[in-house]
Amino acid sequence: MTHGSTPRSGPDHGVFTDGACSGNPGPGGWAAVRVAEGRVIDERSGHADHTTNNRMELTALIAAYEMLPEDAEETIYSDSDLCVKTVNQWAEGWKRRGWRRKTGPVENLELVRRLHELAQRHPRVKLVWIRAHDGSTWNEYADRLAVSRIAG
């Protein structure tokens, strides 16, 4: 897939994110790809030498929010149900409890707190779960980019 390609399936606008890890923990990569009218308009990616898949998914979501202006009306897509629920359902309650879950500490707290802060600063941005590897062109693109960054 090259910049400017027309997607075969799935949404043709929004920000698509993915995280990947070789081993868990192990080396990892992440990607966030902003698409408008079926064309890539911005993409960011990175890697970590020793990390987990969840940390890479959270990092990709942080990058997605950071690439959007605070007044953006946009949808961010993630194939991590855990991360989507973290932002959409659980983080506010954890914050009220001093950043603790009912059952103990919040994992990856520094990333969760940053992500929650960014989501709060982008009130018109929706975060939506998308099924992984279902043929959605831009989700697959983000996946390939994240995997390509595993080696650094």
For the annotated catalytic residues, the residue numbers are 18-19, 57, 79, 133, 143
Helix (H, G, I), strand (E, B) or coil at 24: coil
Q: Residue 68 gets which letter from DSSP?
A: S
Q: Where are the alpha helices (DSSP H) in the chain?
A: 53-66, 81-85, 91-96, 109-121, 137-148
The residue among 55, 45, 1, 61 whose CA lies nearest residue 152 is 45
**Tokens representing residue 87 in the block:** 């932002």
**Which residue has tokens 């075969």?**
8
3-state helix, strand, coil in the chain (%, to 5): 35, 30, 35
